[in-house]
Structure formats: structure tokens, C-alpha cells
């Protein structure tokens, strides 16, 4: 399994730096437009919350992107974090030849 050495950017950081800041949008304003609580969006923006499939759909509609973009960003980040938390998966033997 190949996992990046450098930590990938959390999707909340991308949302903040590539969408909210350039468009001068507040968390409250975007949360209202997305139909979610300010707390929910704030957790994502501050990199303490994850992008769910529902949130990915909301973000894709609001920012004219794909839901897959947001889910792929989250998955990449989650895999990187998981690979650093526990090495147990490294002990698993390969059952099928490459």
C-alpha cells in the first residue's frame, strides 16, 4: 500500500482558502446557504470535522464542483491519518499475489 509521506490538506482547509476567503463568504452565510448549522460547517473549516456524502453533495451544488471531489479529498486525508495512527495493518500478510 502506498501512502503519501506529506500530510494531505484537509478538505476544510481547501474550502476555507479556495472558496470562503476568495469569495469573502462568512461561515454563517455559507452554513445558511448549505442548510447546515454554523457549528457543523465551523468544525469542517477548522479541520475538526469530516466531509460526509451529504455535505459533499451540498458543497458540490453550492460551489459548482463534484461531490466526488470533496469525498476524495476526505478519503485521502483519512487514509493518511489512519496510516499514521496504527501500524497494525502493516502486519497483515498479503493473501493474493500482486
Q: pLDDT tens digits for 80-95? A: 998 888 778 778 888 9
CA distance 42 to 21: 14
The span from the CA of 7 to the CA of 2, in Å, is 13
Q: From CA 3, how far away is CA 9, in angstroms rounded?
A: 14
pTM for the model:
0.87
Whether the per-residue pLDDT at 4 is higher than 70: the answer is: no
Q: Are 84 and 77 in contact (CB under 8 A)?
A: no
pLDDT average, residue stretch 43-67? 98
- Domains in the chain (CATH in brackets) are 11-77 (1.10.260.40)
Grid cell in block for residue 28:
454563517
Amino acid at each position: 500500500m502506498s501512502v503519501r509521506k506529506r500530510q494531505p490538506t484537509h478538505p476544510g482547509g481547501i474550502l476555507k482558502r479556495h472558496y470562503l476567503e476568495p469569495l469573502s463568504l462568512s461561515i454563517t452565510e455559507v452554513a445558511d446557504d448549505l442548510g447546515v448549522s454554523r457549528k457543523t460547517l465551523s468544525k469542517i473549516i477548522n479541520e475538526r470535522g469530516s466531509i460526509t456524502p451529504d455535505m459533499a453533495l451540498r458543497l458540490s451544488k453550492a460551489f459548482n464542483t463534484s461531490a466526488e471531489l470533496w469525498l476524495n479529498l476526505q478519503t485521502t486525508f483519512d487514509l493518511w491519518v489512519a496510516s499514521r495512527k496504527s501500524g497494525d495493518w502493516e502486519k497483515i500478510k498479503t493473501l493474493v499475489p500482486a
